[in-house]
Structure 1
Amino acid sequence: MTTKKILIVDDCQTELLHLKKILEDAGYQTITANSGDEAIKKIRQERPNLVLLDIVMEGKDGYHTCREIHKEPTTSDLPIVMVTSKTQAADRMWASKQGASGFISKPYTNEQILDQVKVLA
């Protein structure tokens, strides 16, 4: 079985390191990006199996990034899970409209992250 590669996108270094530890401890390979633009570049280069994407970021937010990823034919079916401090039903609905496969509100448990990754990666 090949190791699944997960791209973690967040402009908060602490959050990136926390998610990286959860995933690597569970045996996943991780890549990180600090912005939507960097995420799109890394997706093209690295071809991850799944993206964990923050919504609130400087520059291109997670909604815009998700929409852009799914516009490209080569990445249109890439599963994206929004991992965000946003908690409203409207946020979930908007994430889904942009093409997100999952939505996890912060604070989250390790199990919430790993359950979504197992299902979607």
Structure 2
Amino acid sequence: MSTAIRKILIADDSATERVNLTRILETAGYQVVPTQSGNEAKSLAESQLPDLIMLDIIMEDGDGYQACRALKRNPATQAIPVIMISSKSNPVDKQWAQKLGANAYIVKPYKDEDVLREIAAL
């Protein structure tokens, strides 16, 4: 486990994905703050100040792109690394995520190791 990263905020509108990511991360020793929308992720990021934020792209109530842009523009949260997790595998989506400030991009479906490797690489 990376010493710098302890608390991870995950935003995904799929309860199944939230449960799966929580299982992967908690098993690896991370504390998880789950939420189901980009807008909730923005306010939780400010109040909880997680060490990492994982965002799905397609969500009701604020998509991951909007959330990433807002987090990177907010002085309180701009230094927090963001990993996008999405079923969108188009290179254009990855480029757009990078342009908005995302540090990494994981395509669903993923393996546990994929998630943990991206976190370790930050």
Q: Say whether the fold is shared (TM-score over 0.5).
A: yes
Partner residue, 2:9:
7
Shift of 1:78: 1.0
Deviation at 1:59, TM superposition (A): 2.6
Residue segments in structure 2 that go unaligned for 5+ positions in a row: none
Q: Secondary structure at the match of 1:57?
A: coil
Give CA deviations for 1:63-120 in whole Å, capped at 9, x if unaligned. Answer: 1100000001121111000000000000000000111000000010101100111222
Which residue number corresponds to residue 50 of structure 1?
A: 52
Provide the C-alpha distance between the structure 2 equivalents of 1:113 and 1:35, rounded to a whole number of angstroms.
20
Does 2:102 correspond to 1:106? no
Gaps of 5+ in 1: none
CA distance in 2, matches of 1:3, 1:50: 7
1:2 CA drift (Å): 7.7
State the partner residue of 1:36.
38
Structure 1 residue runs of 4 or more that deviate by more than 4 Å after TM superposition: none
CA pair 96-2 structure 1, distance change in 2 beyond 3 A: closer
TM-score, structure 1 normalization: 0.95
What's the counterpart of residue 85 of structure 1?
Answer: 87
CA distance in 1, matches of 2:4, 2:80: 17
Relative to structure 1, is the Cα distance of residues 90 and 38 closer, same or farther in structure 2, using a 3 angstrom cutoff?
same
2:99 corresponds to which letter in structure 1?
Answer: K
SS of the residue corresponding to residue 53 of structure 1 reads strand
Percent of aligned pairs with the same residue?
43
TM-score (structure 2 length as normaliser): 0.94
RMSD over equivalenced CA pairs, Å: 1.3
- SS of 2:24 mapped into structure 1: helix
Contact map agreement 2:13 2:37 (CA 8 A) in 1:
yes
> Which segment is superposed worse, 39-48 or 13-22?
39-48
